[in-house]
Amino acid sequence: MKKCLYVLLPTFLLVGGWSLFGEVNPRQAAIEKRLAQALKLYPDSDTNKDGVLSINEGMAYLEKHPEVRAKLQAAMGGGGSRSQPPSFIPGAKGIRVFVCGHSYMIFTAGMLPAISKSAGIPYLDAGSQMIGGSQVVQHWNLPDDKNQAKMSLREGLVDVLMLSPNLLMPDEGINNYTKLGLEKNPELRVLVQASWVPRDGNNADFVNSQRDRVTQEQLQQMRDSQNQNWMVALEEQVASLNESIGKPTVFVVPVGEAVLRLRERIARGEAPGLKLQSELFRDDHGHPAPTLALLVSYCHFAAIHQLSPVGLPVPASIRQMPEAKELNGLLQQIAWDTVSTYSFSGVKLGGDSDVSLR
């Protein structure tokens, strides 16, 4: 995607670890240091030959030479990964789910089994893989012996593959993993998380408390920017990929929209137990506090099982919060309303019965 979606985006494009979902050093000096390192590695990136690599020059070079991103990460110490192998017994019955993403989604690997169990649905952990701030293609480019996602897919152990790209689109890793998984499981479903925007799209001086002053009108502006730019690129890639496959296989989980809906409820004073938008985040960047992590997990529950989470019991993660039962119900309803009314989610309203009635 050539258009910059937010003011923050150009600062982080030079290596995958600088993406909007990455853990970054906010100091300008650190940015300049990395630019200087990149220039030493790729002197031809300095197109105006002034001896200084600008952010725009770096962006243009990466667009022309996307293959260098992984090399830059390795050279600068970025892109570290961690993974877990499948944990179910061979022959066990249930839906086999692999979670492959960055820090705005990886926590679902620990939450979804318990949520599914509370709904009486067998859930099998097919493994997980995490790279901070990652594009999906960074996972794809890991060596085979460190690429648990590839291993699980090649062994035919995955029914649902969860992926979380960052704002750099298109992301060829989505295509690559989908095609690999279909070789062993023609019924594979791929769920791509559309995340929320770090720092509300602001610069590195942004602090979490600033979220408390965001109005409903500003939240709508954030929604419009997301929907008119990055979401268009993501939806176009998914539509094209499904067309090439010949059937619906890849779907989008609109987590970012669910986050905005919850923040709007807080701004209106209509969220039980929550008074401030900043309570949803554990840091300035935007990593989720327990309430937000639960909302995200409910969105994925709805997408994976094609069922509403409304009626499920209050989980331990928010049980001690004020008005926990009412808050839990709100999170469940927002998740279902958001996922079930979004055409790219693959969830149809015909399956909207509360799980409490099953």
85 in any annotated domain = yes
- Whether 1 maps to a domain, the answer reads no
Q: How many domains does the chain have?
A: 2
Of 39, 60, 76, the domain-final residue: 76
Say which CATH number the domain at 351 has.
Answer: 3.40.50.1110
Q: What is the pLDDT along the chain (358 residues), one digit of tens a residue?
A: 443 333 333 333 333 333 333 334 444 555 676 678 778 777 888 888 888 888 778 777 776 665 455 445 444 444 467 889 899 888 899 999 999 999 999 999 999 999 999 999 999 999 999 999 999 999 999 999 999 999 999 999 999 999 999 989 999 999 999 999 999 999 999 999 999 999 999 987 999 999 999 999 999 999 999 999 999 999 999 999 999 999 999 999 999 999 999 999 999 999 999 999 999 999 999 999 999 999 999 999 999 999 999 999 999 999 999 999 999 999 999 999 999 999 999 998 654 444 433 3
CA–CA distance, 46 with 139 (Å, rounded to integer): 29
Instruction: State the Cα–Cα distance between residues 184 and 155, nearest whole angstrom.
Output: 7
Residues 48 and 192 in one domain: no
Instruction: Indicate whether 167 belongs to any domain.
Output: yes
pLDDT at 8: 33
Pair (145, 31) in one structural domain: no
Q: Is residue 2 part of a domain?
A: no
| Among the listed residues 65, 104, 78, 64, the one whose alpha carbon sits nearest the alpha carbon of residue 15 | 78
**C-beta separation of 221 from 330 below 8 A:** no
Same domain, 58 and 146: no
Quick check: is 63 in a domain? yes
Distance CA 17, CA 7 (A): 17
Asked whether residue 4 is assigned to any structural domain, the reply reads no
Identify the domain boundary among 33, 58, 76. Answer: 76
119 and 231 assigned to the same domain = yes
pTM: 0.79
47 and 187, same domain (yes or no): no
What does the alpha-carbon distance between residue 33 and residue 357 come to, in Å, rounded to a whole number? 58
Residues 131 and 269 in one domain: yes
Residues 92 and 72 in one domain: no
- Please give the C-alpha separations between residue 335 and each of 20, 184, 297, in angstroms, as whole numbers: 24, 31, 9
How high is the pLDDT of residue 72? 56
Residue 63 belongs to what domain range?
Answer: 9-76
Domain assignment present for 3: no
83, β-bridge pairs: 129
- Cβ atoms of 302 and 335 within 8 Å: the answer is yes
Cα 141 versus chain centre, distance: 18
**Residue 191 identity (one-letter amino acid):** L
| pLDDT at 47 (0 to 100) | 87
Same domain, 49 and 89: no
Do 108 and 21 share a domain, yes or no?
no
Q: Say what the pLDDT of residue 63 is.
A: 63
CA-based radius of gyration for the chain = 20
Residues 112 and 65 in one domain: no
- The answer to the question of residue 252 being in a domain is yes
Whether residues 70 and 95 fall in one domain: no
- Among 27, 51, 76, the domain boundary falls at 76
260 with 185, same domain: the answer is yes
